[in-house]
Structure 1
Amino acid sequence: MGARRIASFKTTSTECRSVSTLLKDAISELLIRHGPSRAPAIEPSVLRLARRLPEGRGDLRGAKNYEEIAVRLKTALGRGERLTKAQARDGAWCLWQTEVAIAEEPDLLKAFLAQVRALRHKASSRALAFSYLISFQAGGPGFAAVASVLRDLASVMGEPFEVLHHKLQIFDEERGPRLIGDAAFAKRKSPAAILEESGLRLQQVLAGGYVEPCARRVLQRAAEDLRLPALERLDFIQLVAVKGGKLNFPTHKDLVANALLLPHRDREVEKNIKDRTLDFLVSLEGLGDPRTRSGNWVGIPQARDVAINWLTELALRQFLDVVAAVNPNVNWPYRRRFWEAMHKSGAISGAWVVLDSEGTKEAHRRFGRNVPFGRFGYGSSGVQAGHAVLLLRIGSGMCAEWSFDGKCRFWADSQRKGAPELYKPQYDADELRTGNRYAPVEEIVHIPHQGQNAWQHKAARRISSMTGERFNSKDYM
């Protein structure tokens, strides 16, 4: 019985081996005929995720209590203990970003850097480099000493630091930001893009402290370079300085204004460029409209003067263009020519437009939503749809130019109580007609448009008496 089972098993095994051999032969023949399968090997999802991570992410701060690590590190360094590689790597994040900041104590920093230099450990060196770039502050405590060590360890860190060190001197406090800023300016790219091109792609670094002096260098170069075309200048400065409508570095507000305005001091600039530039600048937190937030522009008087000059012209256009759009009138070109001539002569030192709801919509459509203007208060008497007023500071006085068939009114003293004020967000219509217990010294009706008694001559004489300037009728008629 047992012998039969053994014989049967042997037979079955032989048959299985025979079938297996036949199957292998069949597969081999198919492979010969059709070639091997070209389906890609399935890569584990963990490896795919790791492959997409920016290089160097593993060298960043981990989920550890670095405040405690900093305290222990200070104790160890104070006792002269030898650090492990793990302690050196973690210690790199305790130089500036912890309450116990090792970099603020020169003796401790010197001891720490001596051990990091001696270890020549890749992970510790890279962690120190990332910490330096993220926390960087020109002239800050310990940065010069750390930079010196990083220059010695560049070859230990591997890419991208070795290339960045040799190509852009990234571990030189002064030369590095200057070289990166110059490269960004030459290529019309942001400093972050220059670093990315060289292999440094971690967002914490690209938005870190080291990028600040690089961007500063770009903005300084842009303010000095007169060759950059106006539209390209605006787009480039926005690329370098702003993300999501906010300044990357709030301390750069003055640099941004200078870069956008100073090169245009003595140049003619297209109106749409002026409008876009002003709409951008007044939207920035920390700057705003220099007419209503003059304190934000104290440190940049030349840029402020350019901005106010442009805003004065813009207020004129807000008035002239908006009224022409919402209430077309054959007599309007006479007013446009007169007031544009007065502005060109320098007689107008400040301007502010007051609009109703229809004018507000048109102004937003034409000039953007950020440049401010005044509005008629709710319930203002005698205000028709599309009504507008142009307030002008002329010499020491004030002028209120009404749209439609409204009059042009002059007050001799803009500082006297009761005279209309510039730059208010809301106005009552009556105060722009009669003042507040301070009546206008002259009211001019806008007829006729030609001849010796033309309204333009009367207005020009009044403006001449307020400014001491003489005007040629050929310029304003």
Structure 2
Amino acid sequence: MMESEPKKPRDSARTLLARQKPLTARVLPSLDGIGRSIEKILARWPDIVSSPPERDREALALSMLFRIQNNKWTDITIQRVTSAAIAIFDEDRRRRPDLLPARKFYLGEIAASKPGPFLDGMVEVYIDSFDLEGEHTKLLADALSARRADLGGRLQKLHKILQRLFKPDAAPLDLARMMLEAEDSYAAMISNGLTTPHASGLARAAHKIFLQLLAPELDKAEARTKLFHWLTPENGPVLQSGAGAAVEALLAPWRDHPPPAALRNELSERIIAAWNDPRLHAGGIWSGFDPALRAILLQWLTYQDMKFFCDMVTATQNSHMWPPRRDFWLKLHKDNMIDEAWVAFGSDARRFAQQNLLSSGRTDAVKRFALQPDRGGSTSLLIMRIGNKIVVDGCHSYKTHIFRQDDKRAPKLYERVYHCDNIMRASTNSKSHNPIYNWSQWVLQNV
């Protein structure tokens, strides 16, 4: 009988581990790209409520009331239910007694509905209809606060940024502080889930606080840039509601002393490019504007129009008689003698102004100045009011004409088109610029 081979000793656990091939560490890829993709998807397809046109809101609200009272839910979508909520909770209808059953219905549905489009849509209704004085805002806030854990991804992100979103007394302040901290508050609102930054009631409430916080710093470039990012966003509409107070805040630091010329020009051009020239448009933000601050802007525009005119003539007319004429008009303005001024550019001068004087691109010369088509558009006019006189001066050899303001033949300021030949024929008091001393004395004696 053969002897069995002796058993080999069993390897220890340490020996076995030593024989294993070294493990290759697997590092998870960066999630930044996924995060950016999610943000792009939410920005492109936000789960927001479709805001119904004003003309359709009354019918939509009454139709929803009928369905609620009669339990009629055929041929209805969640989108239409939430759109009707916009109408029922808007400023015109949220206090109406006849729509009380509809408002109660929505509050009840917030408590009972499953997570999804309806619940998220009602957050949009809350943000859109937000009113610190409104009872509906408090009721919606309480109902939605109880369901905040059930909100969708975009609104969870918003609630993370604005943790007091459903506390009406605190939400506007928190949003205003977020705006103040952001480099571009309009873009920050969109990236954080507020898809209509200028339109919602919550944003309008935050705008007032944001302006109060920013106003003391508006004599500094950084604060002005921050405000203009909000008022005139690069990828959004110009703010209209509340813009009047913002423009007043931009002008207020200069009540007692004028800003540097470059800043004065920049501010005035940006303001009229966004909200129109107050000399041509009485409505919009200008209807209730502070008269003293409006006067400051008009003073800037008067000087700027004169400077545009003078710069254009200086660049295009080679005459030894022009520099003393230019200095004379600018000195009258400096001495506060010129109350208003307006420019009518000829066609060549208008092109020159657009290409050279308005290089910022914010202002279109077609809107910014009047047109003078006579003489092939070669003559440009400076129309001024000095006390009760209207004074018209022109480039090249065009004479200076002076009218009484109440003269029916006197040209009116801020017209869109002037005809230099008609003004010349209507004038009974005019003088050529040669010699300059006699001309300047004549102007002073006649105004």
Q: Is the counterpart of residue 398 in structure 1 residue 354 in structure 2? A: no
C-alpha deviation, 1:125, in angstroms? 4.5
Q: Could you tell me how far apart the structure 2 residues matched to 1:50 and 1:295 are?
A: 43
- Quick check: 2:129–2:137 contact (8 Å CA) kept in 1? no
Which residue does 1:306 correspond to in 2?
A: 296
Q: Is the counterpart of residue 418 in structure 1 residue 418 in structure 2? A: no
Which residue does 1:281 correspond to in 2?
A: 271
C-alpha deviation, 1:177, in angstroms? 1.8
- Quick check: 2:388–2:405 contact (8 Å CA) kept in 1? yes
Which residue does 2:368 correspond to in 1?
A: 372
Count of paired positions = 401
Q: Could you tell me how far apart the structure 2 residues matched to 1:56 and 1:419 are?
A: 57
Q: Secondary structure of the equivalent of 2:147?
A: helix
Which residue does 2:103 correspond to in 1?
A: 109
Query: 2:281 is matched with which residue: 293, 305, 308?
Result: 293
C-alpha deviation, 1:395, in angstroms? 0.7
Query: 1:163 is matched with which residue: 136, 160, 172?
Result: 160
TM-score, with structure 1 as normaliser: 0.68
RMSD across aligned positions (CA): 4.5
Amino acid at match of 2:325: R
- Quick check: 2:159–2:165 contact (8 Å CA) kept in 1? no
Q: Is the counterpart of residue 430 in structure 1 residue 426 in structure 2? A: no
In structure 2, the CA distance between the partners of 1:135 and 1:443, relative to structure 1 (3 Å rule), is same
Q: Secondary structure of the equivalent of 1:95?
A: helix
Q: Could you tell me how far apart the structure 2 residues matched to 1:407 and 1:178 are?
A: 60
Q: Could you tell me how far apart the structure 2 residues matched to 1:54 and 1:245 are?
A: 17
TM-score, with structure 2 as normaliser: 0.72
Q: Is the counterpart of residue 181 in structure 1 residue 206 in structure 2? A: no
Q: Is the counterpart of residue 447 in structure 1 residue 435 in structure 2? A: yes
- Quick check: 1:390–1:400 contact (8 Å CA) kept in 2? yes
In structure 2, the CA distance between the partners of 1:77 and 1:403, relative to structure 1 (3 Å rule), is closer
Q: How far does the alpha carbon of each residue in 1:358-387 deviate from its partner, in whole angstroms, 9 at most, with x for none?
A: 21122213134255222222xx25x784x3
Q: Could you tell me how far apart the structure 1 residues matched to 2:69 and 2:171 are?
A: 33
- Quick check: 1:396–1:414 contact (8 Å CA) kept in 2? yes
Q: How far does the alpha carbon of each residue in 1:257-283 deviate from its partner, in whole angstroms, 9 at most, with x for none?
A: 323323323332233333333333323
Q: How far does the alpha carbon of each residue in 1:104-141 deviate from its partner, in whole angstroms, 9 at most, with x for none?
A: 53344335424533x48544644432332245456567
Amino acid at match of 1:53: I
Q: Could you tell me how far apart the structure 1 residues matched to 2:38 and 2:120 are?
A: 19
In structure 2, the CA distance between the partners of 1:237 and 1:206, relative to structure 1 (3 Å rule), is closer
In structure 2, the CA distance between the partners of 1:343 and 1:360, relative to structure 1 (3 Å rule), is same
* Greater gyration radius: 1
Q: Secondary structure of the equivalent of 1:280?
A: helix
Which residue does 1:193 correspond to in 2?
A: 188
Q: Is the counterpart of residue 146 in structure 1 residue 134 in structure 2? A: no
- Quick check: 1:388–1:403 contact (8 Å CA) kept in 2? yes
C-alpha deviation, 1:180, in angstroms? 1.4
- Quick check: 1:420–1:432 contact (8 Å CA) kept in 2? yes
- Quick check: 1:95–1:102 contact (8 Å CA) kept in 2? no
- Quick check: 2:345–2:371 contact (8 Å CA) kept in 1? yes
Which residue does 2:9 correspond to in 1?
A: none
Give 1:50-69 correspondences, 5 Å limit. 53-54=41-42, 60=48
Q: Could you tell me how far apart the structure 2 residues matched to 1:147 and 1:38 are?
A: 44
Give 1:189-228 correspondences, 5 Å limit. 189-190=184-185, 193=188, 196=191, 200-201=192-193, 203=195, 208-219=200-211, 221-222=213-214, 224-225=215-216, 227-228=217-218
Query: 2:242 is matched with which residue: 214, 231, 252?
Result: 252
Q: Could you tell me how far apart the structure 1 residues matched to 2:106 and 2:120 are?
A: 15
Amino acid at match of 2:267: T
Q: Is the counterpart of residue 330 in structure 1 residue 320 in structure 2? A: yes
C-alpha deviation, 1:432, in angstroms? 3.0
Amino acid at match of 1:172: K
Amino acid at match of 1:445: H
Q: Could you tell me how far apart the structure 1 residues matched to 2:149 and 2:371 are?
A: 65
Q: Percent identity?
A: 19
C-alpha deviation, 1:356, in angstroms? 1.5
Q: Secondary structure of the equivalent of 2:229?
A: helix
In structure 2, the CA distance between the partners of 1:325 and 1:77, relative to structure 1 (3 Å rule), is same
C-alpha deviation, 1:396, in angstroms? 0.5
Q: Is the counterpart of residue 456 in structure 1 residue 440 in structure 2? A: yes
Q: Could you tell me how far apart the structure 1 residues matched to 2:210 and 2:268 are?
A: 21
C-alpha deviation, 1:343, in angstroms? 0.7
